Amino acid sequence: MTHQVSDRDIITALQAGLPLVPAPYAAVAEGLGIDEADLMTRIAAMKSSGVIRRIAAAPNHYKLGMIANGMTVWDVDDARITELGAIIGALPFVTHSYERPRALPDWPYNLFAMVHGSSDAEVEEKRNQIAAILGDACRGRDILYSTRILKKTGLRLRKKEA
Amino acid sequence: MTLDDTDRRILNRMQEDLPLCSAPFAAVATELGLTESDLLTRLQAMKDTGVITRFGPFFDAAAMGGAFCLCAMAVPADQFDAVLTKVNAHPEVAHNYERTHRLNMWFVLATETPEGITTTADAIEGETGITVHRFPKLQEFYIGFRVAA
């Protein structure tokens, strides 16, 4: 019989990542004081509910030669953003795309599409493809290149007071 | 490190979901025609050299009752490092990028409650004296994230 652990305990045990050992769930379960099978059942439930999207590797784009990373931003007609956003989001070179609120007057853009490439020229060429699709529904655009990763840890829960 | 074709195949596969079983690396190794120990050795090398920044579950803060929010600040160059230290000290800052724009610091807050976004962003504004622009997602058009290695 194993004691009760909360989802929060499980997330805390997993947030730094899974150990790269042959039986990673057994290793994490041991740390939590529960059975491997119980932990896997709990993780399966968290995947079903969407709390865990997937268990996978997060790569460093820069180290893969994807040194150009452009956050393209667009001021798109609100009446057409859902239709056009779906088209932009489906482009193979767009890794993620969102509608976000504008912050007028400083920030008129409401569509964000992240474009990765091996050079700035490649990213610019892809950006022009997006511009062609948006056509006259687009009233303004910009691109922000990332020059440094300042932090990349993923979700971290704050420690609860004992 | 220089990645060979096997490393690239591993990286492409490992960006997809790992099977939930006792020996998941053995299962993936079989898919890729590798031994489990070769796969684990290569993954460890990619993690040690930073090709893989993290390996494990991707949590969705929103599904946990929390929230994500993209935020941006216009940080003067001579204050950049000092502001960065203050921003990154918050565990809610999940990642942070320097970008070429007047708004030059872009970070994602991941919090356990929706109110946590406001609390954390307000705290950063208080500590730095710089407006934290908040860009929560209104619609998500794609959540691929995978890159071809």
Strand partners, B71: B107, B134
* Residues spanned by the domain of B129: 67-135
A28 and A99 housed in the same domain = no
Tokens of A29: 């379960």
What mean pLDDT comes out for the span A22-26? 97
A44 and A67 housed in the same domain = no
Query: Are the Cβ atoms of A55 and B133 closer than 8 angstroms?
Result: no
Name the residue of chain B whose CA is nearest to A57's CA.
B55
Does residue A1 have a pLDDT over 50? no
- pLDDT tens digits, A79-103: 999 999 999 998 878 888 999 999 9
* Residues spanned by the domain of A23: 7-48
| Domain CATH code at residue A109 | 3.30.70.920
What mean pLDDT comes out for the span A4-11? 89
B83 and B30 housed in the same domain = no
Query: Are the Cβ atoms of B146 and A151 closer than 8 angstroms?
Result: no
How sure is the predictor about A161, in pLDDT bands with cuts at 50, 70 and 90?
A: very low
* Residue ranges of chain B whose pLDDT lies below 50: none
B80 and B32 housed in the same domain = no
> Which of A144, A145, A148, A161 should one mutate to test binding to chain B, selecting the residue with the greatest count of B CBs within 10 A?
A144
CA distances to A38, A65, B1, B12 from A147, rounded to whole Å, are 43, 14, 21, 24
- pLDDT tens digits, B15-40: 889 999 999 999 999 999 999 999 99
Q: Which residues of B touch A26 (CB under 8 A)?
A: 22
Q: Could you please report the per-residue DSSP string of chain A?
A: ------HHHHHHHHTT---SSSSHHHHHHHHHTS-HHHHHHHHHHHHHTTSEEEEEEEE-TGGGT--EEEEEEEEE-GGGHHHHHHHHHTSTTEEEEEE---BTTTB---EEEEEEESSHHHHHHHHHHHHHHHGGGEEEEEEEEEEEEEEE----PPPPP-
How sure is the predictor about A4, in pLDDT bands with cuts at 50, 70 and 90?
A: confident
- pLDDT tens digits, A25-49: 999 999 999 999 999 999 999 999 9
